[in-house]
Amino acid sequence: MADSSHNKKRTRVVNEAFQCRRALEVYAYSMLRDRVEAEDLVQETFLVVMEKYDDFEEGTSMLAWTRAIVRLKVLQMLDKRKRRAKVLDRLLYDAIDAAYEGVDSDEYTDEMRARYLSLEYCLGKLADKPRRLLDCVYTEKLSYEQTATAVGMKYEAVKKSLQRAKAQLRECIQRNAGNPNPKTA
């Protein structure tokens, strides 16, 4: 009988953990900035959940427990890559971790969907040149120097243009905050 109750707990814990999958992937991506690595890391997290399901305390937050596992895995990954996180990186990770405290999976999904729609709308309102600069830096992961070469601009011009583009995005997103469909704003 004890075996049956352990199997039931394992199934319950694993199923509950899988409900947090998307939130965990976004959390890992926010630290790694690589979608594939984030997805792989979340898969490794589920292996840990399956092994250590008995450590989960019933009545506590599954998202918080699995997020702590992801965080440890991220730091291990950074250490393995010999890119030891600098003090500032660890402070950033602490800040990201604090921002996720108390987030419920459904709440989180709705909020992220609204933010995504707002960001998508605001990116669409940017002129081509600033959008291209943002794409180089954040999608293609080019340095400012590489971006300057790719778009035929000087380094300082790229920095200033990116600052203006990010400020425009921030203002647009703030104007559309709380609007579930920013296109109607």
Tell me the mean pLDDT in the region 93-109.
Answer: 69
CATH code: domain of residue 130 = 1.10.10.10
pLDDT at 85: 47
Which of 31-40, 99-108, 126-135, 151-160 bottoms out in mean pLDDT, i.e. has the lowest?
Answer: 99-108
pLDDT for res 146: 92
Global confidence as pTM: 0.49
- For residues 137 and 70, give the distance between their C-alpha atoms in angstroms, rounded to a whole number: 26
Residues 114 and 70 in one domain: no
Residues 109, 23, single domain; the answer is no
Query: What's the number of domains the chain is made of?
Result: 2
Picking from 87, 103, 119, the residue at the C-terminal end of a domain is 103
Average pLDDT over residues 120-135: 89
- Tell me the pLDDT of the chain averaged across its residues: 84
Domain range for residue 174? 104-185
Q: Are residues 148 and 76 in the same domain?
A: no
For residue 76, give the nearest of 51, 52, 48 by alpha carbon: 48
pLDDT surpassing 60 at residue 23:
yes
Taking only the tens place, the pLDDT of each residue in 80-90 is 765 544 555 66
Instruction: Kindly state the average pLDDT of the residues 139-161.
Output: 91
Residue 182: pLDDT above 70? no
Instruction: Return the pLDDT at 38.
Output: 93
Those residues with Cβ within 8 angstroms of residue 28's Cβ, 6 or more apart along the chain or in another chain: 37, 38, 39, 41, 42, 70, 73, 74
36 & 85 share domain: yes
Token pair 């589920």 is found at 46
Domain boundary among 63, 79, 103: 103
